[in-house]
Structure formats: C-alpha cells, structure tokens
A and B are shown apart, each in its own frame.
Chain A
Amino acid sequence: MNDDRVFQLLAEINPVPDPDGLDSPIALADTEEMRGAMATIERTEREQTHAARSEGTSRKRGLAIASAAAAVVLIVGAGLWAFTGSSDTELASTPAGLATTYLDARNNNDPEAALAVLSSNAAFDEVPIIADIDDLGPRFEWMSIRGIRLDHTCTETAPGTVSEVRCTYEGVERLNTALGQPPLAGSFVFRINDGQIISVRHIFPIEVYSPNVFDVFVQWLDAEHPGAFDTIYRVEDDAAIGLTTPEALDLMDGYLEEFEASRG
C-alpha cells in the first residue's frame, strides 16, 4: 500500500467524521443567559481594567476576563461544560509556578506561553543558546525537533522582591535516547521580579554530554553526509549552535531520523 493510500485510509478512522452531527449549539444572541453573561463580562472587564490601571496587575485582569468568558461558554453549553482553573491560576502566579510555566512551554514548543511569563527584556543564559527573546520561537521549534523534554521540579530558593527559583530536571532528547545514554540531568535558575521572569540560567553538564552524545552524532554526520554539519550548525566561540531556518530544521529532522535508524 503506497503512502497516498495509507493517508486516504487515515480519513476512514476519523473518530468524528461529521462535526455537523454534533449537538446544536445554542443561538447565543437569542438567549437571556447569554445577554446576562455578556453584561457580567463587560462589568468584570471594566472593574478589572480600573484595578489594573491603579495596581498595575494587568495579568490578573486577563485571567479574570478569561474566567468570565469561560462562564459564558459554560452557559452556552447548557451546563454541560465545566471550566476549571482557579487553583492552577493561583499556582501559576507564584515564582515557582512562573518557572514551571516557562519550562512547560519549552517542552511543548509554545513560545506564546513562555512569553506570557517573561519580561520583555529577559536575559538568557540558556543551552541551547537563546540570545534574546526574539529567538524564543525558532529555538523552541529546534528543541521540539530534537525531542527535548524535561521532567522538572521547581522550588523557590530565595524569596524577596527579586526572588530566585531553582528547577532541577531529568530529561530526554532524540540523540541521547538513540545512543542509549542515561537521562540528561541539569538545572535552571530563574530570577523573578513583579510577576515576571527577568533572567533564565541553564546549568547543563556539557562536558559530559558533548563527548558521549553530541560528538558521536557529529562523527556519524561527517561520515554519512560530508559537509552537512555546516547546513545545520554554525560555530561561535568553539560552540556549535543549531541553525533555526526552516530548511535547517527540516534537514536536522531528517538527519536525526536517519541517525536513529542507524542505531536500531
């Protein structure tokens, strides 16, 4: 069976082939509940906007509006839908919660979620290198292709106006897994001020990783695809930095797949 036929077959196992057959949504504008809920949202937004201006807590405002909007959808769903999140919201606003959000976003290739907890001039000392906040999206994509996933635990180690959070992790990535190496282990140190992460420092045992994992991959790459290194890396201060152009990402993905296959 060729690739196209397999893809056609995929449509046949669509668990919801006919969305139009789902329950009819209530016509929002025609319901008393919707009008009432909209009025509640508008009132909430006005109040929260005022509070945000006077207290500088725009983040809380957004969350309150989100909760109110969830309430609308709850009503629309005629009580069938439940929206939770208050406890998560409270947790996420703590320094450890903000650090956790950043690392979760890193795991999930979700730069938007990371940007929501980062100061606009946050400083990075990250491995792999993130020079500034504009690099976040492409670098997260690069990490996603590398299959980097960190199982992390964050603790606030120094409370204060500028608090410090340390997160330790064990993690996997495709090269490391292909070579049967033990999980990666390292830590992050975050500095947090006024509900935003102002710096990210990644402490990673590169002296262990490089000879046991990265160098092995590079040797394989040089042998199998001479010259390919320069299409996916640039060297800066003796460090190899993965390129993040769409072409380089696609090449990297292909080489990784081949490397994995070569390792059985």
Chain B
Amino acid sequence: MDRGMSSDNARFTRLYEKHSRAIRAYCLRRVGDDGAADSAAAVFAVAWRRIEDVPRGDLALPWLYGVARRVVSDHYRSHHRRRRLSERLSGVRPPVVPEPEWQLIQRAEYRQLHQALKSMRDRDREVLMLASWEELSNESIGVVLGCSTEAAAQRLHRAKQRLGRTFRALQDSPLESRADGSESV
C-alpha cells in the first residue's frame, strides 16, 4: 500500500464516521426507508472514488449532500421508470405507497404544509428542505446546488415566499379537508 492510498483510506474513514448519519438522514427524508440505504451507500461510493475532490473542512458535508441530491434524483427516475413499466405490463395503476413522513402528519396545519411542500417545484422544495431540515447556511446550500451564496439566498427567499403563499391558499381552501386523501397518488 503506498502512502497516498493509505492517506486516502484514512480520510474516507473519517469522512464516513463523521457524516454517514447526516447523509442517511438526508436520504431517509427524501426517499424513505425503501431506498435510503442504497442511496446513502451510493453517495459514499462516489466519495470513495472521488476522495481527492471532496473539499476539506466544513464544505465536505455540503459536497456530500450535492452528491446525495443527484443520487436521490436517479432513484426517483428509476423508481418512476419501473412504475411506468409496471403500469404498462399490468394495465393498472400501482398501489400508492405512503411516504415516511406521512405518519407524522397529524395536525391539520402539518398536513397542509406537507401538501404545500409536495406541490412545489423540485428546486424550490430542495432549497427549503436544505435550509430547514439539513439546517444549512446559504453558503453550504450554494455548494450543494452548484450556485453562488447570493443565488442560494435569492432562491431560498423566493421559495419561502412561494411556500407561504401556497400554504395560506390551502388554509383558505374549503376543499382542503378532502385534498390530502388523493394528493399522494
């Protein structure tokens, strides 16, 4: 084993020990139990392969989140494809699989907020979740999304406005109480 490889091994080990829980949590939040483990494994496989590209210090975790974002996107895509294929083969709509956070949605306003979040565009939803659930700074969000700190701040600001508008519209909607039953199809 040469010294460079040994050093890479040690660094990867430290990276995994320090951030594996955060990456698993990121994947759990977005794909649920069914797929989070595979996604987290894939993130660290990329980190191992590209260990020299992983930034040192505080930006390592945002870098890993950036990889996780793409891995989760691939997961959604393959899941969607499998579902479409299944639909074609069976001629019926697939069963609706409740998402993990669904179990937590008990209060009416939580349900409305969850509904509002789901109705947002991917880029808005992601920036909101990075800020709220992963508790990232604008600088770190910029690293994850591949944009400047200022652009990340702008995106977050606009996404907060859109979430607020959508949430309030749902609160005002008389159909809200029926909406959550069919929304997750």
A residues contacting B by CB (< 8 A) are 1-4, 6-7, 9-16, 19-20, 22, 25, 27-29, 34, 38-39, 41-42, 45, 62, 65-67, 69-70, 72-74, 76-77, 80-85, 88, 104, 107-110, 112-113, 137, 141, 144-145, 147, 246, 250, 253-254, 257
- Cα A144 to Cα B131 in complex, Å, equals 20
- Min CB gap A189→B, angstroms: 23
Interface residues of B in 75-111 (CB under 8 A from A): 77-78, 100-101, 104-105, 109-110
Asked whether, in the complex, the Cβ of A7 is within 8 Å of the Cβ of B48, the reply is no
Asked whether, in the complex, the Cβ of B5 is within 8 Å of the Cβ of A14, the reply is no
Contact of B164 among A6, A42, A82 (CB under 8 A): A6
- Note all chain A residues with C-beta closer than 8 A to B74: 108
Contact of B9 among A38, A65, A145 (CB under 8 A): A38
With contacts A82-B38, A108-B77, A137-B146 taken as known, whether A28 is within 8 angstroms of B113 at the C-beta atoms is no
- Cα A253 to Cα B124 in complex, Å, equals 11
Asked whether, in the complex, the Cβ of A15 is within 8 Å of the Cβ of B101, the reply is yes
Can you list 13 A-B pairs, Cβ within 8 angstroms, ordered by A?
A: A42-B5, A66-B45, A66-B48, A67-B45, A70-B45, A73-B44, A82-B38, A82-B41, A83-B38, A88-B78, A107-B77, A108-B73, A137-B146
Asked whether, in the complex, the Cβ of A6 is within 8 Å of the Cβ of B45, the reply is no
Q: Is the interface of B mostly helix, strand, loop or mixed?
A: helix
Closest to A20 in B: B21
Whether, in the assembled complex, B150 has its beta carbon less than 8 Å from a beta carbon of chain A, the answer is yes
Interface size on B, residues (CB 8 A): 63
Asked whether, in the complex, the Cβ of B110 is within 8 Å of the Cβ of A83, the reply is no
Closest to A110 in B: B70
- Note all chain B residues with C-beta closer than 8 A to A112: 70
Asked whether, in the complex, the Cβ of B133 is within 8 Å of the Cβ of A14, the reply is yes
- Cα A171 to Cα B118 in complex, Å, equals 21
With contacts A2-B164, A69-B44 taken as known, whether A19 is within 8 angstroms of B110 at the C-beta atoms is no
Closest to B156 in A: A7
- Cα A25 to Cα B19 in complex, Å, equals 10
- Note all chain A residues with C-beta closer than 8 A to B184: none
Interface residues of B in 13-31 (CB under 8 A from A): 13, 16-17, 20-22, 24-25, 28-29
- Note all chain A residues with C-beta closer than 8 A to B185: none
With contacts A16-B29, A246-B147 taken as known, whether A28 is within 8 angstroms of B17 at the C-beta atoms is yes
Asked whether, in the complex, the Cβ of A13 is within 8 Å of the Cβ of B114, the reply is yes
Asked whether, in the complex, the Cβ of A69 is within 8 Å of the Cβ of B48, the reply is yes
Closest to B27 in A: A16
- Cα A228 to Cα B146 in complex, Å, equals 26
- Cα A15 to Cα B171 in complex, Å, equals 22
